[in-house]
Amino acid sequence: MIILTLKSGAVYAKATITALNTDADVANAARVEITSNYAISDNMTQRNDGPPWTFTKGGVLTVASGKIFTFAAQPDIPGNYQVFAGSGAVTGLKEAKIDWWGTNTTPGSTDMSGAMSKALESGASIVIPPNTTYYFGSTVTHTGRVTVIGSGVTSRIKSDVMALRIINGSGSLIDNIDFSNVTAPYLIIRDPANWTASPTFSTTSAEIGWQPTVNDYDIWSSLTLAQQNQNIGPEINFTGNASDITVSRITGNFVNIVLESATNSVVRDCNIRGGKGYAGTIVFWNIDGQQGNSNRAINNVVRFPSYSGIAFSRNFDGQVEGNLVNNAGESGIKLWSFSANNGHWDTPDGPDVYCYNMSIVNNRTQFVWFDGFDLGSSYAQVTLRESRHMITGNKTLGNARTGMVSEGIHNTIVGNSAKNCGTFGMAFYRTDNSLISDNMMENNGLLPDTPNVWHELVLVGSGNTVTGNRIERGSVYSGAAIYEELSVSPTNYIAHNHAINASFAFADASGLHSSVLVGNHSSISPNMEFGNYLISASTPTPQESDIPAGTSYPYDAVVWTYDDVGNNLIGRVKYRNGQVRRAVVPLVYP
């Protein structure tokens, strides 16, 4: 029944929506109630001179296939019950609830993906109330802008598959919703206190591990095909060229947030346990569409992602700030790069995938299986790139491999720290004309060093300024404080770096070197050459006399220069008390 109550108090009943919509008395109505199921067999727009329609429970509009009913005013629907049916569309709503298109009989079990699809089709902002759970048994796909807003951790969407796939969704907002899995996945569990120990396994949703990937190379071949192909958990996916997307305040388990071909978009303030996916948990993936510009990942927490916590590909002027990534199955924060041998990326017939002008500031990563920060620009450093990254104030701790990896030209790498990582503290491969200053490395290189030796800071490149870095080890073990690769004929300025229980490795066996090396301090005796100071307990002796050829002394400072033809080494030793020694080749380095 349709009940029309006039302002005069008179009450009428209408038999059809058409009869209601053509009744002149609607303009004088105080209330219109829809209490039964009514068919909409043709396109119709609600007249705009009456009150909003109220749908009581049982009041339903069934819109025929291919037809559209358009509201002129937001209806009054007091409860969470179905009010729309049929394969036709309903538009003109400002806000809507998923329940308006389907009955959520058993929350968390009843498949509401179809209802969600119809809700998005309306163009309304979808509201997920508190203390509400929806289950999506299949992916909800929608083309165009969406707005989906919840009320926090009690506004829940549960799914084992990609939950939302939005195509060309410029201006979309997904905010304040909890996404979680239904089925407990098979997890690999590693011990960050002992990365070399054999992992264990469990089928559980407990926060103790990640879904295994090919990066778990030590056990991958032993897994069943089902375990290898497993990919359980909800994903929020945007695909197709789009801009100004916001995904914020998302919580939940085994969640991935992937923006493909987006620009000027942001993922922020999320706190999620990562899923598997294909590249990472929060991903800006601009490989096959438009290049990413001004995309941002801000103040997110990501735990136990199967791949990297936060990843960017083919982006520039992006921002990665204030994020925390724990226990990642690949890297904590990653700038994607690809091999030139895969037939598409980084080849003449495909786009460059590297990132440049990225701001990576005040992030923390810890206990990840690969690198805390993998900020490369091209796979295997095939091509030296003009990257110009700003990498400052980041911290990484306890990774199985390197604390930070980066390469490129004109990077600023200042005020970062790496501690207790398995291999290098910081490794700068193919890095030119960059500033690497005031970073701290502590007790890295903890994995067994056979056949490799793990240094605290590795530098491969020229034109770099490397100053004020502090390296500290609790004891002396293999690997240098700073290792400079000489095969690239470096011309770096390396000055005033300080190492405790570690030495510097700046020169090859001949002592030849083209970099400027000044005032680097080490607390142990090796490598006193090139003007680098040793803090030593030794008493300087003797005074103002030539050093005989082949003599070794534990001096506090030594400056070497070559003669005009470059054959003979002429040196001067300067103690901290100003006493000077003269040296000639062949000198045995202390």
Instruction: Count how many domains the chain has.
Output: 1
- What are the structure tokens assigned to 250, written together? 């998302």
- Do the domain assignments include residue 361? no
Q: Which residue segment(s) compose the domain that 49 sits in?
A: 1-92
Q: Which tens digits make up the pLDDT trace of 323-348?
A: 999 999 999 999 987 644 444 444 44
* Tokens matching residue 396: 């990484």
Rounded to 5 degrees, φ, ψ at 446 are -85, -15
The verdict on residue 38 lying in a domain is: yes
- Taking a C-beta distance cutoff of 8 angstroms, is the pair 319, 289 a contact? no
Q: From 482, 180, 213, select the one nearest 328 (Cα to Cα).
A: 213
- Alpha-carbon dihedral sign for residues 572, 577, 578, 579: negative
Counting DSSP H helices and E strands in the chain, the numbers are 3, 60
- Cα–Cα distance measured from residue 54 to residue 567, given in angstroms and rounded to the nearest whole number: 97
The residue behind tokens 């803090």 is 535
Residue 544 lies in a domain: no
Does 158 map to a domain?
A: no
Cβ-based neighbours of 293, under 8 Å, separated by 6 or more: 263, 264, 315, 316, 317, 318
Q: Is residue 73 one of the residues assigned to a domain?
A: yes
28 domain residue, yes or no? yes
Tell me the pLDDT of the chain (590 aa) as tens digits: 899 999 999 998 988 899 888 988 889 999 999 999 999 999 999 999 999 999 999 999 999 999 999 999 999 999 999 999 999 999 999 999 999 999 999 999 999 999 999 999 999 999 999 999 999 999 999 999 999 999 999 999 999 999 999 999 999 999 999 999 999 999 999 999 999 999 999 999 999 999 999 999 999 999 999 999 999 999 999 999 999 999 999 999 999 999 999 999 999 999 999 999 999 999 999 988 999 999 999 999 999 999 999 999 999 999 999 999 999 999 999 998 764 444 444 444 555 788 999 999 999 999 999 999 999 865 544 567 789 999 999 999 999 999 999 999 999 999 999 999 999 999 998 899 999 999 999 999 998 876 778 999 999 999 999 999 999 999 988 889 999 988 778 889 999 999 999 988 875 444 455 688 888 888 874 444 444 443 332 333 333 334 343 444 444 444 434 334 444 443 333 333 333 333 333 333 33
Is there a domain that residue 280 lies in? no
Whether 68 is covered by a domain: the verdict is yes
Which amino acid type is present at position 276?
Answer: K
pLDDT tens profile 493-503? 999 999 999 98
DSSP letter string, 389-428: -EEES-EEES-SS-SEEEEEES-EEES-EEES-SS-SEEE
pTM of the model: 0.88
What's 359-389 look like in SS3? EEECCEEECCCCCCEEECCCHHHCCCCECCC
